[in-house]
A and B are shown apart, each in its own frame.
Chain A
Amino acid sequence: MMPLNVLVVDDEPLAVSQMRWLLEADPQAAEVLAADSARSAETILGAEPIDVVLLDIHMPGTNGLDFARGLRGVPVIFVTADARPAVEAFELNACDYLLKPVRARRLSEALRRAAETTNTAPGEEARVSVLQGDSTMLLEVQDIRWIQAQGDYVRLFTAKGSYLLRATLAELDEHWESHGFLRVHRSHMVNIRRVRRLLHRGGRLALDLGDVQLEVSRRLTPQVRRRLEAQ
């Protein structure tokens, strides 16, 4: 398995240095980056290829749980001295929940789980949590047929209905490519396994998903064609 680039998010310098020390001794970890707040973690995630986030919960500003709620496509391992938020953390699809001080063996086990998530072949086990009324639903990513941008949200269309997710299309574009999603237009992405036909209409390309046809933007046509023809 490829070693993982790890982002450690913790406001306490000693907690970070201990984690670095543990990670340096673990062959599963490649590069280790650190952030002392959710805000600086966001900046790093936007600029660096991070495979897993080790996340503290009690931090000034945005706490770890709220930060994880907005994260897409990167496995999260919570690392905290507080056992109480564990249930909530797992509801957020946390990969693991480690209690400080952390044992090297336990960290290693958590990294292995994260690596499995990261290396999951598209179509296996990847899920996303969406709000529906007052409950949270877990949606198989592969059940999503196409995605439409709606301001700060995206609408995920499955065979059974559609669901809102707080994320931008640009974020999904970055993280869901490995799940077989492809940006075909400024305002939509498509699950390429769900494309039945390519329609050529007077020089423009459109994708037929059975019940819906999605127009491909002129700018993205060459790469969409390349990707679909490679299937």
Chain B
Amino acid sequence: MPRRRTVSPEVRRELNQEVDAAAQVIAAELRTLRAQISPHFLYNALNAVAGIIPQDPPRARDLLLDFADFTRYTLQADAELVPLAEELTAVERYIELERARFGQRFSIELGIAPEALSAPIPHLSLQPLVENAVQHGVGSERGKTHVAIDAYDEGTHIVVVVDDDGPGADPGAIEEILAGTAEGSHLGLRNVDLRLRHIYGGAHGLRCETAAGAGMRVWFRVPKFNQELHG
């Protein structure tokens, strides 16, 4: 397996210089990027529900409820920070829907420290990372993947990690996507990175370790107490 390389914050800062001038641009981008759910996912999920109706109506109903819960969560306009537990519930709904579509083509492993569950994290900061891992894994040549979601306590902070054994990516390409200088298939990561840095400052962006053919590990580290929870 090729060796993963950490996407360097220095390189990202450098790449960022050209776009730094635009704090307003970022703010505008935050508004448009925020809580975007992929239409591709939405319609495929609905298609899976439609496909299950003739053969198993009760299961179709369950999935439709998962779909309702998930979209309700993603459409919360006022949510900035939510307890990790709440985001995890949305992630579970998302996984149920993808499981209906892809069956055994992906597996998920959760390792969540109980003390991390109540910690506030940005709304839709974990789910896009999981979606990124699942989509690239099931869409790869191999067609399947294993995704591990971990969260642990580090005293004043919690760390949230998504690690997959999917196709990975060229670290340089991810650096450019995070810096906003390139478009690509991992745009969900930029969305999360921007929001993390907007809320907690530049040092708290998304970290990424990857290489083509070596899977991807993305994580963020956020303070446990310094923000009041909304609602």
Contact = CB atoms under 8 A, between A and B. Distances in A.
B143 A11 contact: yes
Interface residues of B, number: 23
A67 B104 CA distance: 25
B47 A101 contact: yes
B138 interface: yes
Contact of A14 (B42, B47, B138): B47
B101 interface: yes
Interface in A185-230: none
A58 B102 CA distance: 13
B142 A14 contact: no
B101 A14 contact: yes
Interface residues of A, number: 20
Contacts of B54: 17-18, 21
B230 interface: no
A159 to B, nearest CB: 44
B141 A100 contact: no
Residue from B51, B54, B102, B103 with most neighbouring chain A CB atoms (10 Å): B51
Interface in B28-85: 39-40, 42-44, 46-48, 50-52, 54-55
> Is chain A's binding surface mostly helix, strand, loop or mixed?
loop
B51 A18 contact: yes
A178 B9 CA distance: 62
Nearest to B43: A81
B100 interface: yes
Contacts of B141: 60-61
B50 A101 contact: yes
Contact of B139 (A13, A58, A100): A58
A205 to B, nearest CB: 49
Contacts of A37: 143
Interface string A1-44: 00000000001111101100100000000000000010000000
A18 B48 CA distance: 8
Contact of A17 (B40, B42, B55): B55
A82 interface: yes
Given A58-B40, A100-B43, A101-B47, A14 B100 contact: yes
A15 B48 contact: yes
A99 B46 CA distance: 11
Given A12-B101, A12-B102, A58-B40, A18 B47 contact: yes
B175 to A, nearest CB: 26
A211 B102 CA distance: 57
A17 B39 CA distance: 22
A12 B143 contact: no
B80 to A, nearest CB: 30
Interface in A87-142: 99-102
B143 A14 contact: no
B8 interface: no
A135 to B, nearest CB: 25
Contact of A60 (B39, B46, B51, B142): B142
29 contacts: A12-B48, A12-B101, A13-B103, A14-B48, A14-B51, A14-B101, A15-B44, A15-B47, A15-B48, A17-B51, A17-B54, A18-B50, A18-B51, A18-B54, A21-B51, A60-B138, A60-B140, A60-B142, A60-B143, A61-B141, A81-B40, A81-B47, A82-B39, A82-B43, A99-B43, A100-B43, A100-B44, A100-B47, A101-B50
Given A14-B48, A37-B143, A60-B139, 9 more contacts: A11-B138, A12-B102, A13-B103, A14-B51, A14-B100, A15-B44, A58-B40, A81-B40, A100-B44
Interface of A: 11-15, 17-18, 21, 37, 58-61, 81-83, 99-102
Leading 9 A-B pairs by shortest Cβ distance: A18-B51, A14-B51, A81-B43, A60-B143, A100-B47, A101-B50, A81-B44, A14-B48, A101-B47
